[in-house]
Amino acid sequence: MISIDEREKFYKLIESRTSIRKFKPEMPPKDTLQRILSAGMHAPSGKNRQNWRFFVVTGKKRDEYLKYSQKSWLGIKGVLQTRLKPSLYQFTERFFFTLGDAPVIIFCYSENSPEEKDLTSIGSVYMAAQNINLACQAEGLGCCTMGAPLEIKDEINEFLGITQKLELLCAIVLGYPDHEPPKPPRQTEGRVTWLE
């Protein structure tokens, strides 16, 4: 049974989560990263297939990935230029060129199977990614979930040496936060319909 205090802490944790795009260079301890990944693997999954596959990139390999991050920016910059204020657009562009100095990247893949619908398998991985986001928050780390790597997923598969049949769904950069961005207000209007 969860206490009222624990329940309040849980909702505060969810409400305090925001995407971080500027990080301190220090590497989080490996046991912290293992706890975060374990939290991801405690997510629900279709038919309990636990079809997520995570590739954790750090150190020299992380530095090598920067050229791919910069290339993925080319696929989304046009859309963002129309949606973001100029200062935020420039900040976002810098982020793609440096990953905000995040020392860790987790690439999240789905091992799809004929036993399960692809969309269900994909949904399972995104639930795991959300658990990772919340675990980062609980550990005092920041993170940012990115869809831009999908722009060049074949190149990323080659970069990671992936030979098995897996589908890239997102990447999560993480580390100790080096800024406190305001959380955008939640848009609730028209988002929920009650039927009785």
Q: What are phi and psi of 58, to 5 degrees?
A: -140, 175
Residue 95 CB partners (closer than 8 Å, separation 6+):
21, 22, 144
Domain ranges of the chain: 20-175
Confidence class of residue 1 from pLDDT cuts 50, 70 and 90? Answer: confident
Residue 169 has phi, psi (to 5 degrees) of -115, -35
Encoded tokens for 141: 């780390």
CB 163 within 8 A of CB 68: no
pLDDT at 114: 82
Place of tokens 């992936």: 162
pLDDT at position 27 is: 98
Nearest one of 114, 129, 141 to 169, comparing CA atoms: 129
Superfamily of domain 20-175 in the CATH hierarchy: NADH Oxidase (3.40.109.10)
Q: What is the reported pLDDT for 178?
A: 97
Structure tokens at 99: 């990953």
pLDDT digits (tens, 9 = 90+) for 136-191: 999 999 999 999 999 999 999 999 999 889 999 999 999 999 999 988 899 999 99
**Does 56 score more than 90 pLDDT?**
yes
- pLDDT tens digits, one per residue of 73-116: 999 999 999 999 999 999 999 999 999 999 999 999 999 988 87
